Amino acid sequence: MRSPIIDTGPEERLDRPLPEAVRQHVVEAAAELIGTLPPEEVPAPLRRIAKFEPRKRAKRAATPIAAQLEGDEEFRTRVVDYVREAHPGFIDAIEAGAPPAAADPVQVAAIAYLVRPAGWTRYVEAARSELERSAAAAEEAAAAQEIAMLREQLTAAKSVRAEEIDKLRGELRDSRTEVAELRRKLHEARQAAKAARERADALAAETAAERSAAAAAEAAAHKEIRKVRGRLAEAEAAAEYARRAAREGRSVDDARLRVLLDALMDAAQGLRRELALPATISRPADTVSAVAPAGPGLLPGRALSEQDPGLFDKLLTLPQVHLIVDGYNVTKTGYGELPLADQRNRLVTRLGGLASQTKAEITCVFDGADLDAPVAITAPRGVRVLFSPPGETADELIGRLVRTEPAGRAVVVVSSDREVADAARRAGARPASSALLLRRLARS
């Protein structure tokens, strides 16, 4: 049952907005009511917030709720009925103009604003006065507390100042004592400097005498040196005569060796012309079938360990060396956190720099078993990039490349895979670890 609308005569209005505390009580009561109403009975402007929790409605929709209470008398009456169910006697007392003496003025003002009995504005103004008085009292208490704190700070500052003055006086006494000690030491230093100057004068006289003696000894030494140089010139002339005689004896052997070398070179050129061999031929590795990207004999240096940093530099100095690189084994050792495409591009680019520096033949082999389509890689000059064909692993393709090379050619297989290294060694190639190649590339 809805409360009847009380006729208060001429409409009473406030000269100023509701105090914030009163407004908060009113909005909270309306927010609780909205949650209990059927959706169709909620005022249209407030339906959007009806699904919110009461606290959230009161906090985030305080302005539209207050506006609805001010302009919608029916909605305000519903709020009064909702509050009356919780505090029936309290609202009756306010409507009768006799609220309880111990009641909270803010709560009395909030209910009076909703019920609007005759003279309701005086309850609101009384609450405003009480709030202002409480605020002023709080400010006075805060000011008194601040004054007390400042007095304590002043007392502490005076105490610290007195301590600092005593400390400075003590430091002044110590400084005066130190100045007297420094003056005494300065006098002693002046006396010591005077004595040092006298010793220096005596040493200067001794030095002059020693210089005269040294000059005489130097003249005698120069005379002896001239004699030694004469004997040395005679010895060099004799040695030059002996060397000339030795060269004339060797010239016959050198001439014979040169004639033999020229004969071998002429024979090699004649054999090339007879066999019609081209000036440049394809490498044996070019004949190995593999998937290209879109777009071995005894080797010197076997006394070095496979982990020796100097091994790789020695291997790269071999004439016509062929460097075969197990691509993914190297990239996953050095930068396996990158995607496979970035790993391939970084390795191939750095191998291009190594090829330009060493002029070595370089073949980089990747496993092509997981490739769904051809991979576009622009291989630098001097680097051959191969992917193993379907049904074959990169390790098997490396083995075919090693076996294709002629016996006696220097072939180096770079892989930290033990099976690949053992297979390369059995085929006559020299294995090297991926770490050695990565160190060499880091220096390039």
Question: Each residue of 52-76: pLDDT tens digit?
Answer: 777 777 777 777 777 777 777 777 7
Of 83-87, 135-139, 438-442, give the range with the top mean pLDDT. Answer: 438-442
User: What share of the chain has pLDDT > 70, as a percent?
Assistant: 80
The Cα-based distances of 217 to 20, 223, 224 in angstroms read: 112, 10, 11
Mean pLDDT across the chain: 79
- Range with the poorest average pLDDT among 48-62, 251-265, 384-398: 251-265
At 288, is the pLDDT very low, low, confident or very high (cuts 50, 70, 90)?
A: low
pLDDT in the model for residue 343: 93
pLDDT in the model for residue 129: 77
Q: Which residue has the higher pLDDT, 8 or 179?
A: 179
Digit-coded pLDDT (tens) for 11-30: 677 767 778 777 777 777 77
Is-contact 57 65, C-beta < 8 A?
yes
Nearest to 33 by CA among 66, 74, 78: 78
pLDDT in the model for residue 5: 43
The residues that bridge with 365 in the sheet, in sequence order, are 326, 386
pLDDT in the model for residue 215: 86
pLDDT in the model for residue 370: 67
Digit-coded pLDDT (tens) for 395-438: 999 999 999 988 888 999 999 999 999 999 999 899 999 999 99
Digit-coded pLDDT (tens) for 79-97: 787 777 767 777 767 776 7
Q: Which residue has the higher pLDDT, 223 or 326?
A: 326
pLDDT in the model for residue 24: 79
For residue 2, pLDDT beyond 50: no
Digit-coded pLDDT (tens) for 302-335: 455 556 667 788 888 888 899 999 999 999 999 9
Place of tokens 């220097």: 410
What phi, psi does 362 have (nearest 5°)? Answer: -125, 130
How far is Cα 162 from Cα 182, in angstroms, rounded to an integer? Answer: 30
For residue 1, pLDDT beyond 50: no
Question: Which pTM value belongs to this model?
Answer: 0.38
pLDDT in the model for residue 414: 95
pLDDT in the model for residue 281: 52
Name all domains of the chain by residue range, CATH numbers in brackets. Answer: 20-118 (no CATH), 284-443 (3.40.50)
pLDDT in the model for residue 297: 40
pLDDT in the model for residue 212: 85
- Range with the poorest average pLDDT among 125-134, 141-150, 244-253, 313-322: 244-253
For residue 249, pLDDT beyond 80: no
CA angle 96/99/105 to nearest 5° reads 135
For residue 136, pLDDT beyond 70: yes
For residue 391, pLDDT beyond 80: yes
pLDDT in the model for residue 8: 44
Place of tokens 């990158």: 338
